[in-house]
Amino acid sequence: MKKFTVLIGSAITVYAIMAFSAQLMYVKPLPEPLVAITPITAELNIAEVKIDLKGHDAFLDKLGNFESGNDYKKVNRLGYMGRYQFGRQALKQVNLDISRKEFLNNPELQELAMERLIQHNNSTLERFIKKYNGKTLHGVKVTRSGVLAAAHLGGATNVKKWFRSGKDFKDANGTSITKYMKLFGGYSLSIE
């Protein structure tokens, strides 16, 4: 009796599949449109397509990538450390008195240090940013994010000198603050 039930069940399943397949094979024609449809063609110029990825997180990601490849454990030949390559002086500016080991093993602390440094440099350089933001000075378009990146590289004092005289500070690797102003210009930073 079980064999007979299985055979009947199998036969019903096969019949259902065949019936469904037959319905799929018949395609009902679409009605003719009442209005002639003109095909729409458009050319897309990829160079004109821009995706705005210039927010605060993108700024930090690019800066961290440029400084260390976004490696929280990196220490360079000069002793600068972490994702953003902080030195002892910058850590003092943001009121962090911790050991190298503590700093390298704590990504959250490194992010906090960077946010504090951005705030510190922003308040130190605010009058220059307000005066020149969006203008070209010494051949560089000035933006808040570019100025703050330059201050991270060379310190706020060297950025002030740049504003006053055009003197272009370079770090030990030969990277100039104007390079940072250009590379990191135009980001929209979340500054409180």
- Looking up residue 64, the CATH number of its domain turns out to be 1.10.530.10
Residue 112 lies in a domain: yes
Identify whether 17 is part of a domain. Answer: no
Q: Where are the alpha helices (DSSP H) in the chain?
A: 2-25, 56-68, 88-93, 100-104, 107-132, 144-154, 156-165, 177-183
pLDDT of residue 41: 55
Residue 59: CB partners within 8 Å, gap ≥ 6?
Answer: 145, 149, 184, 187, 189
Nearest to 93 by CA among 148, 147, 152: 152
Main-chain phi, psi angles of 162, to 5 degrees: -60, -45
pLDDT of residue 8: 47
Specify the pLDDT at position 7. 45
How far apart (Å, rounded) are the C-alpha atoms in residues 10 and 5? 8
Q: What is the pLDDT of residue 14?
A: 47
Residue 75 lies in a domain: yes
The whole-angstrom separation of Cα 144 and Cα 123 is: 11
How many domains does the chain divide into?
1
The domain in which residue 149 lies consists of: 51-183
Give the residues across from 75 on adjacent strands: 81
Residue 28 belongs to some domain of the structure? no
How many C-alpha atoms does 64 have within 13 Å on its Cβ side? 19
What is the torsional sign of CA 119, 121, 124, 130?
negative
Return the number of other C-beta atoms located less than 10 Å from residue 149's C-beta: 29
Q: Which residues of the chain have pLDDT under 70?
A: 1-52, 192
Q: What is the rounded distance in angstroms from the CA atom of residue 182 to the CA atom of residue 51?
A: 19
Cα dist from 46 to 49, 50, 58, whole Å = 5, 8, 22
Residue 179, in any domain of the structure: yes
First to last CA, the chain: 80
